[in-house]
Structure 1
Amino acid sequence: MKIGADLIIDTLYKQGVTEVFGYPGGTIMPVYDALFRSYERNVPIKHYLCRHEQGAGFAAVGFARSTGKTGVCIATSGPGATNLITALADAKLDSVPVVAITGQVPRPLMGTNAFQELDVFGLSLASCKHSFQVMDQSELEDTINQAFRIANEGRPGPVLIDIPKDVQMNNVIKQIAVNLPEPQAAATAQDQFETAKSLILNAKKPMFYIGGGVDMAAVSKHLNALLSHTQLPAVTTLKGIGAISSTYPHFMGMLGMHGNGAANLAVQECDLLIALGARFDDRVTGKLSSFAAKAKVLHIDVDNSELNKLRQVELAITCGLETALPAIEHQFSLLDAKDKQQWQGWRDECAQLKQQHQWDYNCPAQGIYAPALLNELSNIMPSSTVITCDVGQHQMWVAQHMKFDDCKNHLSSGGAGTMGFGLPVAIGAKVARPNDQVIAVCGDGSIMMNIQELGTIKRFNLGVKILLVDNAKLGMVKQWQELFFDHRLSETDLSDNPDFVQLASAFNIPGKTISKPSEVSQALKDFIEFDGAYILHVKIDAQDNVWPLVPPGAANQDMIDNQPTSDIVG
């Protein structure tokens, strides 16, 4: 006869889980005891002890995003569970399949303000796709199975399972199914795809707008085939980077607040916007009423709630892209040369914009120029390298200046914009893909938020590389203060940060600091070739900002592009 905790481990293993991330505590101890005994019971699940529950949650996110599998994290009740919430909220906004298991005080103590009792079920409702609280051990197995199904079906997202301690410890005599309604797939008529094809063929300036949903549906191959057949220009969101081959000649880059100038201007000129797995986020659209104002919109997404939510469209198709894209790609595989030729003028117009808005890697100052550094790293790193990003100026520079051919190799916090994201996500990615290079590109502000995870890297001998871009500032906040708050630099100075290389050495992680352009090439070569964890600490000029920038409330064509701040503030 099994106790509930053993059944939890057994069910996870049946779901294909072999790695979990977590931190033990009082009300989750029975599960940790079951983990301890899992190998002798022939259900081997390896637990990675992170040094903070938020780190465990983000490691699960990194595991999921770098593989497409479901990440699993575990925490105790009270503060253990609340520390997971930020990572779960990030996963929800970026549609990442994660299952979080939290302990809860025993059922007789619930509602008494017992030690470390908090209503994590209630707290999780806004940050999870779905939440369960298991009040009978007979429901454990089916609840866990349901959680994995919900986390992955339709638009993916995190699911939390809160389990009282006595439920974990009680014998499981029988198992009861949890009756949740099965999702009903929306019927997609073939004539909708015919209408979509007609819209594209009748457009003079069609443009593909690609979001992260393409990768979630695992249809990048069909997308690139469709682009090959049509030779139409395309842009991506931050999460869509990697869905389009970096060698595709009509790829315009990322659009939005810090998008490529050519991408933003081309979208404003198009007469048909084909949105695939994207959600018209405000950081993409700028002033919504002015976004692609000349265009009709064809929007295909698995989540019906995103259709016509922000932008009224001419054709909305509620459909998984795994169904829609192969169907559309097949239709366009029959295009003849005459059909393709009708868009040549539009291609030429976009090519001219790309030429006019090429990135300039000439350093505007005497120090190391981060865009040039990241572009050089991109050119020398193995194509399978996973890059994880903290949030800030360096995040946008990565998106602008590094090339990716797989969304699973570019892991960046999109919807939540969570500082402290990069390091623990890199840990999860390295656990999932031990044979690939994994590099966390961090800022000197963001890295301090989860720097305790250097301990996890040390304990498990994980070869995570850290590229630390250090301007001794909260760079993005400082840039906005310069532009929009009349240079009042409030609480953005980080000049008293520790010596990061010395700090890393305390965790047996070697490293180097560079500050001169002449040091960059050799330092990057050593960084890539080093066998194991390594930190490359790069000092840059605090005056280097991210350009272009679409000011808040402005239309995308009204980008600021490296102008003196005195010309902008007013």
Structure 2
Amino acid sequence: MSAKTEIQYAQQTAANEEMKGSSMLIRALAEENVDVIFGYPGGAILPTYDEIYKTGIRHILSRHEQGAIHAAEGYARVAGKPGVCVVTSGPGATNVVTGIADAMIDSLPLVVISGQVATSVIGTDAFQEADMVGITMPVTKHNYQVRSVEDLPRVIKEAFHIATTGRPGPVLIDLPKDVSVATGIFNYENELDLPGYHPTVHPNRLQIKKLQDAVTKAEKPVILAGAGVLHAQGAEELTTFAETQGIPVASTLLGLGAFPGEHEQFLGMAGMHGTYAANMALHEADLLISVGARFDDRVTGNLEHFAPTATIAHIDVDPAEIGKNIETHIPVVGDAREALKSLVEMDGERGDFTAWKNTLHEWKTKYPLWYNEDDETIKPQRLMEEVYEATNGEAIVTTDVGQHQMWAAQYYHFNKPNRWVTSGGLGTMGFGFPSAIGAQFAEPDTPVVAVLGDAGFQMTAQELSILQELNLPVKIILVNNASLGMVRQWQQLFYEERYSNSLFPIQPDFVKMAEAYNIKGSRIDNLEEVRGALDEALAHDGPALIDFRVTPDENVYPMIAPGKGHHEMEGVTP
């Protein structure tokens, strides 16, 4: 949006003039500093799209609503501000439900505007009618159906506030077509009045003191950093606290980047495919400080064996998460950054963790991540190492879900926050590519690499059209093992190698697919060509796709099998 357009909006807003609901919506988005919208038009939302046409606000047309919502997620993850998605009623709206659920479980701030049939026919099974309030209630932080145009400015203002405060999450605004064309007074100056919504930002000082005292008394403390650190923009405070107190740090999958990946105190990712050092640190710790992590089952393994000797301290802005899965001894409700700032300012007495650090260093040295080297075929682990080196660790990396996701998490070291974009809690295939598009809009000058499986890519491959249209310089790295890799791995390990519908004997020609969209494409089959292909793609000023044919039967290790604890990891050594 041009500066002129923004000034015009400000002038018109101040005048409290009468306008249509569709105009109110676009002007409210300007008030919220929205610079890009992802969406797909249709009948019920046409008044809004007409306003988009007249005002020139930047809109990215996805080729499927799923692409729009995942792009909005990628934007939100990297920009740290709400992603905005606009779709029509009925199938347009239901096509974004998966993305809304994905954002809900991963705590991403979204504002989703869905068109709706006119209020006079709601409930009559009208053409392209769907009960989006009922459908999305379980997977939104809050949702609205606007029945009066006079309510629209208040609803939009509340939606952005709710999406971004406390624990972030998606908010849906269901907008009937007749409300879009009705007129009313636009007033965006009113104070927010949400008597039942007051997230706790600043933690209780006494609980912070209890936690600091526990650190002083501990002999084997460890910090588990989750995505809440990133949402709170608390990476700097986490690093300061950990360094000052000398506490080692492990990370959840979504917390990668909250603490520098190459820092000597970093133990790696914890959980099902985490490092030996990180998982054993959780198992042996006498103090576990969880910051912005929700103790999901992929992190904890068997709860009976989780951190059996540790005092559990849990910092979280959402009080519902504290004690939900793991008994918590020191609960700290509040914003992660504010809690960490309080701990740094308290500057408590340091404990002596020398013996603990020596043990951890021994584990890291003796049991590193490993794979069997091959001088000819492309090992996916080696490919991720090459991607890391080729990008100097500076790229934004997005992924789909599965083996390639785990290899990227293991072998790409995230030294800065908001460089890792992946679907965690819902595990949504098709997420990786469109989220890369959103990430590129969030940071146009930063390289964006979409690490994708051959299966997940095909779920949203139509979004190649956006790269073609806008010459968006996203680089697509296909980790092509001709299978549903993680499904195949589980079938091998737990289903006596019955590969039911997980192998792809026939695939499309991905290079030709890219070229059909006028995108640079190449196929690499041997190791010696990997680095050259990566360097060439990264130097190209437009989009590029590389189809890397990796070892098809490679598995992700180490691994905590279902029902096992951290101390029962498999594949720790070759």
TM range (shorter): over 0.9
Which deviates more, 360-369 or 188-197?
A: 360-369
Q: Distance in 1 between matches of 2:468 and 2:530?
A: 26
Q: Distance in 1 between matches of 2:161 and 2:224?
A: 29
Q: CA contact under 8 A between 1:139 and 1:175: conserved in structure 2?
A: no
What is aligned with 1:308? 323
What is aligned with 1:496? 506
What is aligned with 2:4? none
Q: Distance in 2 between matches of 1:16 and 1:384?
A: 27
Q: Deviations over 1:162-205 (max 9, x none)?
A: 01000001111466978532633447432211111110110110
Q: Distance in 2 between matches of 1:174 and 1:53?
A: 29
Q: Which amino acid aligns with 1:344?
A: T
Task: Say if 1:323 and 1:173 are closer, same or farther in 2 by CA, change over 3 A.
Answer: closer
The offset of 1:147, in angstroms, is 0.2
Counterpart check, 1:226 vs 2:241: yes
- Within-5 A mapping of 1:257-268: 257-268=272-283
Counterpart check, 1:30 vs 2:47: yes
What is aligned with 1:567? none
SS in 2 for 1:413: coil
Counterpart check, 1:151 vs 2:175: no
Counterpart check, 1:137 vs 2:149: yes
Q: Deviations over 1:307-337 (max 9, x none)?
A: 11111111101111122110101223x65xx
What is aligned with 1:294? 309
Cα RMSD after superposing both structures? 1.6
Q: CA contact under 8 A between 1:439 and 1:467: conserved in structure 2?
A: yes
Q: Which amino acid aligns with 1:94?
A: D
What is aligned with 1:15? 32
The offset of 1:362, in angstroms, is 4.2
SS in 1 for 2:19: coil
Q: Distance in 2 between matches of 1:364 and 1:268?
A: 34
What is aligned with 2:12? none
* Equivalent position to 2:258, from 218, 243, 259: 243
Q: CA contact under 8 A between 1:239 and 1:407: conserved in structure 2?
A: no
Q: Distance in 1 between matches of 2:186 and 2:490?
A: 59
What is aligned with 2:103? 91
Q: Structure 1-normalised TM-score?
A: 0.95
Q: Structure 2-normalised TM-score?
A: 0.94
Q: Distance in 1 between matches of 2:354 and 2:328?
A: 26
SS in 2 for 1:214: helix
What is aligned with 2:387? 377
What is aligned with 1:515? 525
The offset of 1:529, in angstroms, is 1.5
Q: Distance in 1 between matches of 2:453 and 2:145?
A: 38
Q: Distance in 2 between matches of 1:137 and 1:296?
A: 53
What is aligned with 1:197? 212
What is aligned with 1:469? 479
Q: Distance in 2 between matches of 1:382 and 1:529?
A: 13
- Within-5 A mapping of 1:59-78: 59-78=71-90
Q: What stretches of structure 1 move > 6 A for 4+ residues in a row?
A: none
Q: CA contact under 8 A between 1:250 and 1:351: conserved in structure 2?
A: no
Q: CA contact under 8 A between 1:387 and 1:439: conserved in structure 2?
A: yes
Q: Deviations over 1:20-39 (max 9, x none)?
A: 00000000000000000113
Which deviates more, 314-323 or 46-55?
A: 314-323
Q: Deviations over 1:356-381 (max 9, x none)?
A: 11123542585101111111211230
Q: Distance in 2 between matches of 1:121 and 1:326?
A: 39
Q: CA contact under 8 A between 2:230 and 2:417: conserved in structure 1?
A: yes
Q: Which amino acid aligns with 2:195?
A: P
Q: Deviations over 1:186-231 (max 9, x none)?
A: 4743221111111011011001111000011111101101111122
* Equivalent position to 1:446, from 450, 456, 459: 456
The offset of 1:562, in angstroms, is 7.2
Q: CA contact under 8 A between 1:266 and 1:353: conserved in structure 2?
A: no
* Equivalent position to 2:94, from 82, 85, 91: 82
Task: Say if 1:287 and 1:258 are closer, same or farther in 2 by CA, change over 3 A.
Answer: same
The offset of 1:122, in angstroms, is 0.6
* Equivalent position to 1:350, from 348, 354, 360: 360
What is aligned with 2:123? 111
The offset of 1:407, in angstroms, is 3.3
What is aligned with 1:125? 137
Q: CA contact under 8 A between 1:478 and 1:489: conserved in structure 2?
A: yes
SS in 1 for 2:424: coil
Q: CA contact under 8 A between 2:203 and 2:338: conserved in structure 1?
A: no
Q: Deviations over 1:58-114 (max 9, x none)?
A: 111011101101100000000000001111110001000000001000111111111
Q: Distance in 2 between matches of 1:132 and 1:464?
A: 35
Task: Say if 1:515 and 1:169 are closer, same or farther in 2 by CA, change over 3 A.
Answer: same
Q: Distance in 2 between matches of 1:108 and 1:229?
A: 63
* Equivalent position to 1:184, from 194, 198, 218: 198
Q: Which amino acid aligns with 1:126?
A: P
Which deviates more, 165-174 or 409-418?
A: 165-174
Counterpart check, 1:211 vs 2:226: yes
Q: CA contact under 8 A between 1:382 and 1:437: conserved in structure 2?
A: no
Task: Say if 1:175 and 1:69 are closer, same or farther in 2 by CA, change over 3 A.
Answer: closer
Q: Distance in 1 between matches of 2:203 and 2:391?
A: 42
Q: Which amino acid aligns with 1:475?
A: G
Q: Deviations over 1:144-176 (max 9, x none)?
A: 000000001100000000010000011114669
Counterpart check, 1:554 vs 2:564: yes
The offset of 1:383, in angstroms, is 4.2
SS in 2 for 1:403: coil
Q: Distance in 2 between matches of 1:560 and 1:382?
A: 31
Q: Distance in 1 between matches of 2:21 and 2:416?
A: 40
Counterpart check, 1:423 vs 2:433: yes
Q: Distance in 1 between matches of 2:241 and 2:572?
A: 36
Q: Distance in 2 between matches of 1:272 and 1:470?
A: 42
Q: Distance in 1 between matches of 2:134 and 2:175?
A: 14
Counterpart check, 1:401 vs 2:411: yes
Unmatched tracts of structure 1, length 5 or more: 40-44, 565-570
Q: Distance in 2 between matches of 1:50 and 1:185?
A: 34
Q: Distance in 2 between matches of 1:133 and 1:469?
A: 42
Q: Which amino acid aligns with 2:65?
A: E
Counterpart check, 1:527 vs 2:527: no
Unmatched tracts of structure 2, length 5 or more: 1-17
The offset of 1:265, in angstroms, is 1.4
SS in 1 for 2:568: coil
The offset of 1:247, in angstroms, is 3.0
What is aligned with 1:568? none
Task: Say if 1:221 and 1:52 are closer, same or farther in 2 by CA, change over 3 A.
Answer: same
Q: CA contact under 8 A between 2:369 and 2:558: conserved in structure 1?
A: no
